Amino acid sequence: MNDNVKIPGQKSAPSSSSSREDAPSSSAASASAASPSSSAEALLTVEGLVKHFPIRTGMLRRQTGAVQAVDGLSFDVRPGETLGVVGESGCGKSTMGRLITRLLEPTGGKIVFQGHDITHLNTAGMRPLRRDVQMIFQDPYSSLNPRHTIGTIVSAPFQLQGITPEGGVKREVQRLLELVGLNPEHYNRYPHEFSGGQRQRVGIARALALKPKLVVADEPVSALDVSIQAQVVNLLDDLQDELGLTYVIIAHDLSVIRHVSDRIAVMYLGKIVELADRASLYSAPMHPYTRALLSAVPVPDPRRRGGKSERILLKGDVPSPIAPPPGCRFHTRCWKATERCRTEEPPLIELRPGQRVACHHPENAPDQAPDDPALGSAREAVEIVTAVPKAAEPAPEPVPEADPESAAGEPEGTDGAEGTDGTEGADGERRKQ
């Protein structure tokens, strides 16, 4: 991390959102999350969003199947908040981002922005909305035209919308460059003259040109060096405070998501499996998949380093979205899977105020099907790795032995983030079934 930048700490929730999170939920525990009670005040509401990419084969290009990239997402995004979206590669995060910015046409479902149904707006219909909804892309190398100066790139939204900002385009572009921490004198330079972090700042300046209300950032820092990531994350954070932006930030990295998000949606194979405010998700994850993801996150607090840690290693690959498993899509990799999981898809329900989960056998909440027989395959689904890291450096003493009792037990504790330190492969690591 660069010393010159503010290291992002725990993000403070937007002033209005804390009261929203704390407000008693009007929905009963069994109420579906498809129509969140807060929809009325949402900037964006998504209901049952579906995107299936057809697979065509043969001379006649007949459709023989479909990639079920996004399959029934329901959530809302509240003004001023950051919704983090996390999940393994291929789970449909980018597709979701492109759907809500209407870069892709949905196969089904509904997208409502500021009370307007934008689900099937055509290019002309979307034009006014382009000002309010912008996207920042992952790769600052391919998302900027190498033949255009950054002045031309950042001014493109004004040309496209036919807008002349007060004071002229050049002055406004230079103001934007300054806003994102770039030298306004570099207006005439080309993308190849900038580093990756600077290029991402150019992409952010372009996205902010039309003063959008909602910014969807798809892996905004994953292509950058770790030392630069904090700078860009801080920049996004500062711009949100300064300009009152609402973010949907997509990332596979739970550390980044933790820093930036007020609420977090965890996706698996085209579905949201858990949606919760940050504190609840990290302190008491309910979906086994969330717990497994969190168990791999390094602990940021150095005082907790050096403790024994348990990691849940999911075995096998994510199944194909062309033929996803029936019932709960996670059941083929879940250590808690039962017969019901194999046959019945669990709805995303609010089991605690502000925390929704799609699971028959959640963690940190009452079992929804306690008498259901376990699947034989569940025992083989995961591997628990207990790691006892090396003693603090310098380490004159021998490395302490791991406790054999706990190394042989079931996954313990409720906080997947507790005790993890990211020291995979450290001395003292032992594996158990």
Residues that bind ligand ATP (CB under 6 A): 53, 67, 69, 87, 89-95, 252, 321
Of 58 and 398, the one with the shorter C-beta distance to ligand ATP is 58
CA 185 – CA 10 distance, rounded (Å): 35
Q: How far is the CB of 96 from ligand ATP (least distance, A)?
A: 7
Of 151 and 321, the one with the shorter C-beta distance to ligand ATP is 321
Of 209 and 221, the one with the shorter C-beta distance to ligand ATP is 221
Question: If we measure between CA atoms, which residue out of 8, 15, 73, 84 comes closest to residue 45?
Answer: 73
CA 176 – CA 302 distance, rounded (Å): 38
Of 69 and 375, the one with the shorter C-beta distance to ligand ATP is 69
Q: How far is the CB of 21 from ligand ATP (least distance, A)?
A: 26
Q: How far is the CB of 200 from ligand ATP (least distance, A)?
A: 17
331 half-sphere exposure, CB direction, 13 A CA radius = 24
Q: How far is the CB of 385 from ligand ATP (least distance, A)?
A: 24
CA 316 – CA 333 distance, rounded (Å): 7
Amino acid at 132: D
Q: How far is the CB of 50 from ligand ATP (least distance, A)?
A: 12
Residue for token pair 């905004």 = 220
CA 312 – CA 373 distance, rounded (Å): 22
β-pairing, 214-218 with 246-251?
Answer: parallel
Beta-carbon neighbour count of residue 187 at 10 Å? Answer: 17
Q: How far is the CB of 37 from ligand ATP (least distance, A)?
A: 28
How many residues are there in the chain? 433
Structure tokens at 385: 């790795």
Percent helix, strand and coil across the chain, each to the nearest 5: 30, 20, 50
Of 247 and 335, the one with the shorter C-beta distance to ligand ATP is 247
Write the DSSP string, 250-303: EES-HHHHHHH-SEEEEEETTEEEEEEEHHHHHHS--SHHHHHHHTTSPPS-GG
Of 87 and 327, the one with the shorter C-beta distance to ligand ATP is 87
Q: How far is the CB of 69 from ligand ATP (least distance, A)?
A: 3
Of 85 and 129, the one with the shorter C-beta distance to ligand ATP is 85
Q: How far is the CB of 249 from ligand ATP (least distance, A)?
A: 13
Give, as one character, the DSSP assignment of residue 207. Answer: H
123-55-331 Cα angle (round to 5): 105
Question: If we measure between CA atoms, which residue out of 308, 327, 326 comes closest to residue 386?
Answer: 308
Of 53 and 158, the one with the shorter C-beta distance to ligand ATP is 53
Give, as one character, the DSSP assignment of residue 29. Answer: T
Q: How far is the CB of 255 from ligand ATP (least distance, A)?
A: 16
Of 99 and 378, the one with the shorter C-beta distance to ligand ATP is 99
